[in-house]
Structure 1
Amino acid sequence: MQLSRLVSTEKACEHPPKGLRHHSCSVVGPFAVIFGGETLGKGRDAVCNDLYVHDARSSPGKWFHFPSSNRALKRIGHRTCLLNDKLYLVGGFGADGKTPCPEISTLEISL
């Protein structure tokens, strides 16, 4: 996935994350890639699997939101790490906020 192309698609909703904690953030060139975490709202399903991308190529920067319907990727307390154009999603806890996630997921990324 090329980040510059992704943020210019119709799938990109322009709005920043609201009240996240226990999420991950990796910097990829001029982009900050935020994944998962727990929303601070009062909703019952607080663990999320959304992807947010902050594009700092303009001033002020723009936020883009990419919701996901894959419940298996809901994570809190995890880490992301960029290595050789792949973003690795490691560890953390699943949708219930208590069950450890042993799977490692990857996302191919380029500028």
Structure 2
Amino acid sequence: MRQRYRSRRDRLVAALAAHAPHIEVTGVAAGLHAVLRLPPGTERSAVKAAAWQGVALDGLAGFRHPAADMAAQDGLVVGYATPSEHAYGAALEALCGVLPPEAGKPSRASR
């Protein structure tokens, strides 16, 4: 199982490098999720767009403690263990399609 999840994370990282290289991927490679750092002010719209595409993920805001004194960062928590093997490629494509564009560039949806 560990190799399967590592392979899925590697596929996620490769898809982001190809379609959204401005999005930073964090989180340990041995886990079941990755954190995608988003440009400020884009988290809520990305979560909403993902839901419209049938992609379940969470924004970082939901994990922030109300008393935290660090500056908030926009991001997505993306689990890669749940989609079935035959659906994983489509899930990656849908995810890449809802990510905010690099500053100053049009989104994929508007091209």
Q: Which structure exhibits the higher relative contact order, with contacts defined as CA atoms closer than 8 Å and separated by 6 or more residues?
A: 2
TM over 0.5: no
- Structure with greater helix percent: 2
The TM-score normalised by the length of structure 2 is: 0.30
The TM-score normalised by the length of structure 1 is: 0.30
